[in-house]
């Protein structure tokens, strides 16, 4: 599959909450140890020009979180606030455009590992203006060749729905211990991992 780059304005024009949800798949943490890579200082760089770096812990609204910062061409554009534990990986909020959005109910990014074909999970949080539902399904294992290497990745179809009619579907290619090595947006754009720093 050939990599296509979406125009920058269209790629980053999503509302802050949805942008963060789409990007969550690049982050992860520990369950079992090392399955979801989540140590402070880890970073991932993608063919879209985005680099993501994990830092923390930090206290946000009284909660201890790890922070995944998304940089586009070196400029920070958003943050995801993540919590990691034996039940998997959840997000408790996001920040973009100077606005912090905290989720009354955390959204499940990944359940407890290991993941396997056929697994499904879903969670919903209610914001003042709309509800967000994040649902995912593991479709199977796929071979993926990227500039960062060749991987056997779990293909996860992630759907983000909002109660005001928004719907976004993305395929994420997750490798235990590495993170997301490829994602494919609903318009067919493929973005690959090109470098990682662990």
The pLDDT tens digits of the residues spanning 138-171 come to: 999 999 999 999 999 999 999 999 999 999 999 9
Report if residue 1 sits inside a domain. no
Give the containing element (helix H, strand E) for 101. strand 99-111
Domain tally, the chain: 1
Report if residue 71 sits inside a domain. yes
Q: Are 40 and 67 in contact (CB under 8 A)?
A: no
Report if residue 172 sits inside a domain. yes
Tell me how crowded residue 188 is: count the other CB atoms within 10 A of its CB. 10
Rounded to an integer, what distance in angstroms lies between the CA atom of residue 107 and that of residue 111?
11
Length of the chain, in residues? 198
Report if residue 183 sits inside a domain. yes
Domain coverage including residue 131? 8-197
Q: What is the CATH number of the domain that holds 166?
A: 2.40.360
The conformation of residue 108, written as its DSSP 8-state character, comes to E
Report if residue 30 sits inside a domain. yes
Report if residue 3 sits inside a domain. no
Report if residue 159 sits inside a domain. yes
Report if residue 66 sits inside a domain. yes
Q: Would you state the structure tokens that stand for residue 51, as one six-digit string? A: 């680099």
Rounded to an integer, what distance in angstroms lies between the CA atom of residue 62 and that of residue 193?
33
Q: Are 107 and 21 in contact (CB under 8 A)?
A: yes
**pLDDT values of the chain reduced to their tens digit, one per residue, 198 residues:** 444 444 433 333 344 444 444 444 434 333 345 899 889 999 999 999 999 999 999 999 899 999 999 999 999 999 999 999 888 999 999 999 999 999 999 999 999 999 999 999 999 999 999 999 999 999 999 999 999 999 999 999 999 999 999 999 999 999 999 999 999 999 999 999 999 998
pTM comes to 0.83
H-type helices in 12-131, by residue range?
16-23
């Amino acid at each position: 599959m050939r990599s296509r780059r979406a125009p920058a304005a269209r790629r980053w024009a999503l509302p802050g909450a949805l942008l963060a949800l789409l990007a969550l798949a690049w982050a992860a943490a520990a369950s079992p140890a090392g399955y979801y890579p989540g140590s402070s200082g880890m970073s991932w760089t993608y063919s879209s020009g985005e680099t993501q770096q994990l830092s923390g812990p930090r206290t946000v609204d009284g909660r201890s979180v790890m922070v995944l910062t998304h940089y586009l061409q070196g400029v920070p554009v958003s943050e995801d606030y993540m919590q990691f534990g034996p039940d998997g990986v959840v997000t408790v909020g996001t920040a973009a455009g100077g606005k912090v959005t905290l989720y009354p109910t955390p959204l499940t990014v990944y359940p407890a590992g290991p993941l396997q074909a056929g697994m499904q999970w879903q969670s919903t949080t209610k914001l003042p203006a709309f509800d967000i539902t994040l649902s995912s399904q593991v479709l199977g294992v796929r071979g993926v060749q990227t500039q960062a290497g060749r991987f056997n990745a779990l293909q996860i179809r992630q759907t983000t729905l909002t109660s005001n009619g928004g719907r976004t579907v993305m395929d994420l290619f997750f490798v235990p211990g590495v993170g997301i090595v490829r994602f494919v947006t609903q318009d067919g754009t493929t973005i690959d991992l090109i470098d990682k720093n662990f």
